[in-house]
Amino acid sequence: MYFLFAYLLPLLYDPYFWTILIAIAVSSWASMNVNSTFRRYGNVENHNGITGTEAAQIIMSSVGINDVTIQPIAGSLTDNYNPQNKTLNLSEPVYNSTSVAAIGVAAHEVGHAIQDKVKYMPMSLKTALVPIVNLGSNLAMPLILLGIIFGLNQTLIRIGIICFATVLVFQLATLPVEFNASSRALKQLRVTGILNEDELPMGRKVLRAAALTYVAAVLSSFLQLFHLLLLFGNNNRNN
């Protein structure tokens, strides 16, 4: 027990340890929060008795979207809108469910379809960043590891850190897109009467919990980037 305490005590004063710990804690909390919220309101059936698929169809029809295909996909909370092939992909717990949670999630994805229809600029920016962030995220850690292997080569490490930073930039660009999609979803749920005044606050809580996962992702990436800067910035100064 003493040896364990002697090992852990120095970590309490180590900024690297805290950045990692906080990043893990934030991501875990956001994931548990969205899952618990979805389960809670996944047990509340909407007053109209319509499914997530039907809600999506009603909203798209009301805003004049007729070129988007709705299809089921495997998994839970894997729902997404694909602007490339105009598909609204709803996960199994949403596609045929009549719960308030399912309605909220389906409406949110339709919010993205509406953004695509009106050429919402932040969504276009996010889409343009996808190939850049894919390349950056794939190269970041290999470049940093190569920099370490080749005697803390600062050029490779810096390029790796810049590549990792593209992930944070992408996540920051994602925030307004997600919040706006939720705002559009709530507006349409109210206008179409899919959810009544008692159900709308429940739908809002589902969407808020989902949005917090994106905020948590930004904070987590920022802390990881900060960790890399602390770690290799110190190494650079020591050299």
The H or E element containing residue 213 is helix 200-238
Q: Annotate 35-72 with DSSP letters as a single string.
A: HHHHHHHTTSB-TT---HHHHHHHHHHHTT--S-EEEE
Set 45, 54, 109, 178: catalytic member = 109
Active site residue 109: yes
The encoded tokens of residue 54 equal 């039907």
Number of Cβ within 10 Å of residue 114's Cβ equals 22
Sheet with 87-91, edge to edge strand ranges? 69-73, 87-91, 80-82
User: Which residues, 6+ apart, have CB-to-CB distance to 38 below 8 Å?
Assistant: 77, 93, 101, 105, 206, 209
The length of the chain, given as a count of residues: 239
Distances (CA, A) of 88 to 1, 65, 67, 100, 146: 54, 12, 10, 18, 41
Catalytic residues: 109
